[in-house]
Amino acid sequence: MLTLASKLKRDDGVRGPRASNPASDSTRRVSVRDKLLVKEVAELEANLPCTCKVNFPDPNKLHYFQLTVIPDEGYYQGGKFQFEIEVPDAYNMVPPKVKCLTRIWHPNITETGEICLSLLREHSIDGTGWAPTRTLKDVVWGLNSLFTDLLNFDDPLNIEAAEHHLRDKVQQSWLSCCRWFDLLRRTFGIKLKITLSAMRDDEGRWMAEPWLPY
């Protein structure tokens, strides 16, 4: 990123005059946050997931940027989801503030953009929350994983969305099983019909999830 080099040079220029003008130190010094961000943004851009893009509206303000996630697998494959990330002055003692700008039906993201991600929690009793050792790279990778392996149905923020996803998942499983049963029925005939009949109750409802030996 071209602005990183210019920012580093500017920071060096700010540090130079300090020795000759101590009175202006409080107004010119670069904050701990900004020093960290110069390094962390460079690390982030060098290790960005292939499904993510970052954009800095103002190259001189590394504490605010936008993230676009375009999942290449799972429920949200092909979608385009935007987040805004703002790094507070107290960083890295506190986590960045993140909001989802794209309206989405997701168990861990509300329709108004609030996000449930453990590493963004300032206080966490299970030890998975924010810590000063975490970086922007961890935040971006965590947000990206919300669409794959960190999709959490057990502790949802949007309970209705989680229940909807689970219902769809069960329905898709049944459809998949039915296709297999239909294929096997046509292959093996009456023997499979007896098995299918035995798995339904008197009202025709499934008594248990079908099991197929492989």
Cross-strand bridge partners of residue 68? 53, 82
115 touches 157 (CB < 8 A): yes
Sheet holding 52-55, edge to edge: 52-55, 64-69, 81-86, 97-100
Measured distance CA(197)–CA(119) in Å, rounded: 49
SS3 100: strand
158 touches 111 (CB < 8 A): yes
Whether the upstream peptide bond of residue 92 has omega within 30° of 0, thus cis, is yes
User: Which residues are catalytically annotated?
Assistant: 116
Measured distance CA(172)–CA(176) in Å, rounded: 6
> The dihedral of CA 78, 111, 156, 69: what is its sign?
positive
**H or E, element range at 64:** strand 64-69
SS3 208: coil
Measured distance CA(123)–CA(119) in Å, rounded: 9
